[in-house]
Amino acid sequence: MAEQFTLHEDPRSGNCYKIKLTAALLGLPLATRQYDIMKGETRTPEFLANINANGRIPVLEIRDRESARFLPESNAACWYLASDSDLIPQDRYAQADMLRWMFFEQYNHEPNVATLRFWLTFVGKANLSEQQNAQIMAKRIAGCDALSVMNVELEDRRFLCGDKVTLADIALFAYTHVADEGGFHLSDYPNIAPWIERICSLPRFVPMQ
């Protein structure tokens, strides 16, 4: 029996979308099971015991004849789906370069660009804690810095690692293309819009919702 994949997700999450986009580009069937993170549905004792002790989606469930395994962390799940595909370069340096963008995404980009989107579009500014309000400015500056790095590096190439789309583009596309929902102005980064267009034009591309 071939592996079967189910994504435990909240469809508003860009981290979940990365996995759906990876599967779509590869033509892999992917079932979904939905949770509402705003209602704490990933914090139940059942979820913590059986799906992810870290209380977060996305989680990729991988089933075969013998086992059901649960793989959290969006970029790890993308890697699993894409192994042996053209979305991961073969060359050793190119592979490491792709990974550096995926680590950059998790350290410099997502905690700022995605968090401000979540706070401002889904939680609402009026509902933020004093501590969250106090962090907005620092996250805005760090998010702009991350977008600037992408903008500079996209000056002379079609995709983040060169001429071909890789998981680095999928990881960073997920929250960049909706960065305006976090109050970021993509028009300040002129190389980002054409890159977004290139990704949207890929065969089998699927939009976020």
Q: Which residues bind ligand GSH (CB under 6 A)?
A: 13, 15, 37, 42-43, 55-58, 73-75, 106
Q: Count helices and strands (H / E) in the chain.
A: 8, 4
**Looking at beta carbons only, is 30 or 162 nearer to ligand GSH?**
30
To ligand GSH, the closest distance from the beta carbon of 50 in angstroms equals 15
* Cβ-contact 167, 83 below 8 angstroms: no
**Looking at beta carbons only, is 59 or 161 nearer to ligand GSH?**
59
To ligand GSH, the closest distance from the beta carbon of 42 in angstroms equals 5
DSSP 156: G
To ligand GSH, the closest distance from the beta carbon of 209 in angstroms equals 14
To ligand GSH, the closest distance from the beta carbon of 62 in angstroms equals 15
Cα distances (angstroms) measured from residue 46 to each of 8, 41, 42, 49: 13, 10, 9, 5
The token pair that represents 202 in the structure block: 């890929």
**Looking at beta carbons only, is 48 or 206 nearer to ligand GSH?**
48
State the Cα–Cα distance between residues 15 and 52, nearest whole angstrom.
15
